Amino acid sequence: MELKATSMGKRLAQHPYDKVVLLNAGVKVSGERHEYLIPFNQLLAIHCKRGLVWGELEFVLPAEQVVRLHGTEWSETQQFHHHLTTLWQKWSHEMSVIAAQVLQQVVDEIAQSDQQQKWLTRQQTAGLQQKIRQALSALPLPVARLDEFEHCRDAWNRCQAWLNDVDKSRLAHNQAWADAMLSQYADFFNTIESSPLNPAQARAVVNGEQSLLVLAGAGSGKTSVLVARAGWLLTTGEAVADQILLLAFGRKAAQEMDERIQERLHTQDITARTFHALALHIIAQGSKKVPSVSKLENDAQARQALFIKTWRQQCSEKKAQVKGWRQWLEEELSWEVPEGSFWQDDKLARRLGSRLDRWVSLLRMHGGSQAEMIESAPEAIRAVFSKRVKLLAPMLKAWKTTLKDENAVDFSGLIHQAINILEKGRFVSPWKHILVDEFQDISPQRAALLSALRAQNKHTSLFAVGDDWQAIYRFSGAQLSLTTMFHHYFGEGDCSDLDTTYRFNGRIGEIANRFIQQNPHQLVKPLNSLTPGDKKAVTLLADDQLEPLLDKLSGYARPDERILVLARYHHLKPAALDKAATRWPTLQLDFMTLHASKGQQADYVLVLGLREGSDGFPAPARESVMEQALLPAAEDFPDAEERRLLYVAITRARHRVWLLFNKEQPSVFVDILKSLDVPIARKP
């Protein structure tokens, strides 16, 4: 059957199409120079319209495309339209039955995912989306028409929900699943620690994403969550002990974690390892030999003695390099260097020893050749950095020679070797779940070790617990962006906040939180306290009031209440503390540096030294070209790490914090704290 434009209609319409022919399951629209085949499976609608004289057929196609036939006799147009529509609708009904079956299969898969007793990851939902798209591409009907058919409509709407807002659908599933788990395992969450886990802690524990960052603010129970996570994996059968790798940054932290696991989980099958212990294990298994770690790694005095000896030998033998060292020390570090054979000066040597130790450590951590290190340095300092590296080359060589003589390796070498073994496939990771404590302290080298482990098994989950607000170890190689840009480095996943602190009151929390979040590079998170605290919970006090403050504390602090006295450096310990045992015998006073206070807590905290100057707080920037080239880039925010250091100090306290400042040369932090409504007291 066909429909043609009349002779007059053809002349007046001046349209490319003047004939339509009905095919088996479609139509062919043609003209003298044009032809268009329209199968029914691309046809969305057929419109029949009447003009002043002639008829018009309009075929609507996907992507808002329309094909028109003009100038046909009206009664013939109506007749053709009726016949075509009848055939098209009959075909559509037959095809809709097939489409409904295909859609139902997809809906059944969605339902199966919903009903499964497991978390639905982003990776899994992406796979589900792909299945839906594949099913839709195999339908005999255009998807734009599915809503017309009652037996397709509900299934199509469910598919659309997953396609249009997959995050909403996934979150709804995971919320319902988490609710069910928290109810089903209520006894576990109530008894795994001495106090029941709060909802935020419990939800972090059951979160099943492949890459999960748990932001654990000060005092929010990060250790409880790590222990509970390990217990949850064992209790639900998601893993056996051998498939769980628990990592800490120091031996003491690993030992404390082991004690907590034995106490709460009643097992010795899970042990926390340091990154270095993990690297040793991988090397031992992958190379069939157990390397020994150099004794120098745990003896800073011996390391510095080695470097000073090498430096003195270098200067006495290579006069050409003496000029380079003098220029480095005087011009870049602004040190006073004696005339003549300055390398023989013991005071200067002692001062330089710790710097040499630090710089060689950074070179070892990089692990590349001299050329690679120089090439990776920022262009603005590359030329100067190249000179510095060449001056340090004898120290690095002496270190490597000592390792060879000891038949030992250093810490950086351990991790480099372990990564190499993993990449060559000489060790196959047995771990399905990697749990990392204090993740904000991770360095690029340690991150590379984690990535090498996960590369062997794409389904290995990473459960990272840390707090970017407490990242204070950039000087030792920690890279903050590995936490603040976690998913960029470790893959798609979730971020979970532990939103309640059990340590400090609301006033301490308010000041500390507002202070740290003035830096836009810090992640935003809630951290609520259980008690309000009064306005004087954080107080600024002149530093000449230290002894009156301790006098006052001796009047009301109980003997079992701990008082932390914190300063930026060891040598700033106040002389008043030397007489503390006799003058304030009932006070439990502990002095330590701000860095050492990380992980500590006390009832009262006294932060000393808020002043400007070389020993001030915030500490003035002292980075040499070596640090600029080899350490992770710092944020472009004033005193960012020093600000985090003060946050750590303030959040050690349960009840009250005094911030002691110098009246003549107050720290820049004083005005900032005053703007946050921290009161200044004339006396304690």
Per-residue pLDDT tens for 184-233? 999 999 999 999 999 999 999 999 999 999 999 999 999 999 999 999 99
- Give the whole-angstrom CA distance, residue 111 versus residue 151: 18
- Give the whole-angstrom CA distance, residue 442 versus residue 490: 13
- Choice between 51 and 592, residue whose per-residue pLDDT is larger: 592
Superfamily of domain 519-681: P-loop containing nucleotide triphosphate hydrolases (3.40.50.300)
pLDDT tens per residue, range 444-481: 999 999 999 999 988 899 999 999 999 999 988 999 99
- H-helix segments, 337-443: 346-366, 370-376, 382-406, 411-423
Query: Could you give phi then psi for residue 211, rounded to 5 degrees?
Result: -130, 105
pLDDT tens per residue, range 580-599: 999 999 999 999 999 999 99
- Choice between 6 and 422, residue whose per-residue pLDDT is larger: 422
User: What average pLDDT does this structure show over 506-521?
Assistant: 96
pLDDT at 13: 63
Query: Could you give phi then psi for residue 511, rounded to 5 degrees?
Result: -65, -50
State yes or no: pLDDT of 366 exceeds 90. Answer: no
State yes or no: pLDDT of 369 exceeds 90. Answer: no
pLDDT at 272: 95
pLDDT tens per residue, range 557-582: 999 999 999 999 999 999 999 999 99
pLDDT at 593: 97
pLDDT at 115: 65
3-state secondary structure string, 169-219? Answer: HHHHHHHHHHHHHHHHCHHHHHHCCCCCCCHHHHHHHHCCCCEEEEEECCC
- What lies within 8 Å, CB to CB, of 281 at 6+ separation is 273
CATH 3.30.420.40 fits domain 190-294+425-501: no
User: Is the torsion defined by CA of 254, 260, 265, 266 positive or negative?
Assistant: positive
pLDDT at 677: 96
pLDDT tens per residue, range 298-349: 899 999 999 999 999 999 998 889 999 999 999 888 899 999 999 999 999 9
Contact yes or no for 469/219 (Cβ under 8 A): no
- Give the whole-angstrom CA distance, residue 617 versus residue 636: 19
- What DSSP string runs through 487-511? HHHH-S-EEEEE-EESSS-HHHHHH
3-state secondary structure of 39: strand
- Give the whole-angstrom CA distance, residue 504 versus residue 651: 7
State yes or no: pLDDT of 401 exceeds 90. Answer: yes
pLDDT at 288: 78
State yes or no: pLDDT of 111 exceeds 70. Answer: yes
Return the minimum-mean-pLDDT range out of 39-48, 341-350, 618-627: 618-627
pLDDT at 624: 86
Contact yes or no for 352/304 (Cβ under 8 A): no
Q: Which of 65, 66, 67, 48 is nearest to 57 (CA)?
A: 48
Contact yes or no for 50/56 (Cβ under 8 A): yes
Contact yes or no for 453/422 (Cβ under 8 A): yes
State yes or no: pLDDT of 9 exceeds 90. Answer: no
Whats the size of the chain, residue-wise? 684
pLDDT at 299: 93
User: What average pLDDT does this structure show over 93-115?
Assistant: 87
- The strand pairing partners of 37, in sequence order, are 28
State yes or no: pLDDT of 183 exceeds 90. Answer: yes
State yes or no: pLDDT of 418 exceeds 80. Answer: yes
What is the band of 485 on the pLDDT scale with cuts at 50, 70, 90? Answer: very high
Number of H helices, E strands in the chain: 25, 23
pLDDT at 116: 64
Contact yes or no for 73/6 (Cβ under 8 A): yes
- Give the whole-angstrom CA distance, residue 619 versus residue 623: 11
Contact yes or no for 440/466 (Cβ under 8 A): yes
User: Is the torsion defined by CA of 135, 138, 140, 144 positive or negative?
Assistant: positive
